[in-house]
Amino acid sequence: MKVTKLIPQGICKGVARAITIVNKELTNKNIIKPIYMIGNLVHNKNIMQGFIDKGIILINENDKKNALLKINKGTVIFTAHGVSKELINIAREKKLNIIDTTCTDVTKIHSLISSYIKENYSVIFLGVKNHPESNAIVNDFPVYFITEDSILEDLPKLTGNIILTNQSTMSYIKVKEIYYDLLKYYPNLILSEEVCPATRLRQEALINSNENADLIIVVGDKMSNNTKMLKAIGKTHNKKKTILLETVEDLNKYDLSEFQNCIITSGASTPFAVVQEIINALKTYDKNTKYISKLNTKDYLKLKG
């Protein structure tokens, strides 16, 4: 099969930064134990397993506040998706050692919302329900939260200045569509589209990719929102058969022998080693082969391809 690899690939700067911060802290012999990670540092099972192997206790409860309230000593790691001030304050009051790996692109959205609220704007925030980034923002700010599926339900009556902004990993096309939909209800609505560069560049590369391809493969974790957005764009914008693979072993679920020309892209938390292993397999693809990954946790944690 002919394989065209879209650029960029590999772990984004926010995920790389989070991994680097945690790895650096883990080399500190005096780090206060036990070490808890409040939610997945990144939405990638392989990277997470690497941290669990290093002794980190992963707390994966939906109710992060409740989980934090049960911790009385040690270190808590907050994820690249951001954390609410409420959780930071609870950790401080409990005198826990805090490692905050919030991505700077997420911090920028918090600052943006804060400054518009200070100027008395009503803020409509587009995000994914129960996603940690949206949860932190909804917790910290009096925003009107909407999702892609709920925009026209129960729209609040808003007057004065109104702004629409969004979670960092949304589809930039969808954000614009939703903005134009909302303009019908709020004629003075302004848009501050905040899709992060790592997410946007991947989406643009896919939208502008080879029209002759007959298959799109998105590599990434099913939990990753920017990965899910790439899959949605492949289907609805490129209008091609689009499949999501987490590892090379997912190839065993499909018979791809009818496809000749494939485009491969990946989510911002997908290690490049995973993509490369899939590319190698596709080049000599045979539906009768049983694909087995030869990667180990060190490969997943390599920050460069």
Stretch that binds ligand SF4, among 13-21, 90-98, 149-157, 280-288 (CB under 6 A): 13-21
Q: How far is the CB of 61 from ligand SF4 (least distance, A)?
A: 22
Q: Is 277 a catalytic residue?
A: no
Nearer to ligand SF4, 3 or 82 (CB): 82
Tell me the backbone φ, ψ of residue 166, rounded to 5 degrees: -150, 165
Q: How far is the CB of 80 from ligand SF4 (least distance, A)?
A: 4
Stretch that binds ligand SF4, among 195-203, 227-235, 272-280, 287-295 (CB under 6 A): 195-203
* Contact map string, positions 65 to 94, toward ligand SF4, x by CB under 6 A: ---------------x--------------
Q: 235 exposed, middle or buried (CB, 10 Å; 0-12, 13-18, 19+)? A: middle
- Greatest CA separation for the chain: 63
Q: Taking a C-beta distance cutoff of 8 angstroms, is the pair 227, 266 a contact?
A: yes
Q: Taking a C-beta distance cutoff of 8 angstroms, is the pair 19, 10 a contact?
A: no
Cβ neighbours of residue 120 closer than 8 Å, sequence gap 6 or more? 160, 161
Whole-angstrom CA distances from 198 to 63, 107, 174, 226, 301 are 28, 15, 17, 9, 18
Question: How many residues touch ligand SF4 (CB under 6 A)?
Answer: 15
Cβ burial 18-43 (10 Å sphere, 16+ → b, else e)? bbebbeeebeeeeeeeebbbbbbbbb
Out of 47, 268, 273, 282, the only residue in the binding site for ligand SF4 (CB under 6 A) is 268
- Exactly one of 86, 93, 133, 193 is catalytic; which is it? 133
* Contact map string, positions 113 to 142, toward ligand SF4, x by CB under 6 A: ------------------------------
Nearer to ligand SF4, 83 or 189 (CB): 83
Nearer to ligand SF4, 165 or 199 (CB): 199
Tell me the backbone φ, ψ of residue 193, rounded to 5 degrees: -75, 120
Looking from the CA of 264 toward its CB, the CA atoms found within 13 Å total: 26
Strand partners, 265: 218
Q: How far is the CB of 167 from ligand SF4 (least distance, A)?
A: 9
Out of 3, 6, 12, 56, the only residue in the binding site for ligand SF4 (CB under 6 A) is 12
Nearer to ligand SF4, 1 or 207 (CB): 207
Q: Is 102 in the site for ligand SF4 (CB under 6 A)?
A: no
Nearer to ligand SF4, 109 or 178 (CB): 109
d(CA 112, CA 99): 23
Q: Is 169 in the site for ligand SF4 (CB under 6 A)?
A: yes
Q: Is 196 in the site for ligand SF4 (CB under 6 A)?
A: yes
Write the single-letter amino acid at 283: K
Specify the DSSP class assigned to residue 240.
S
- Can you point out the beta strands (E) in the chain? 2-5, 35-38, 57-59, 75-78, 97-100, 122-126, 144-146, 162-166, 189-191, 215-219, 241-245, 261-266
Q: Is 237 in the site for ligand SF4 (CB under 6 A)?
A: no
Q: Is 198 in the site for ligand SF4 (CB under 6 A)?
A: yes
Q: For residues 14-53, which are near ligand SF4 according to CB under 6 A?
A: 14-15
Q: Which residues bind ligand SF4 (CB under 6 A)?
A: 12-15, 80, 103, 105-106, 168-169, 196, 198-199, 226, 268
Catalytic residues: 133
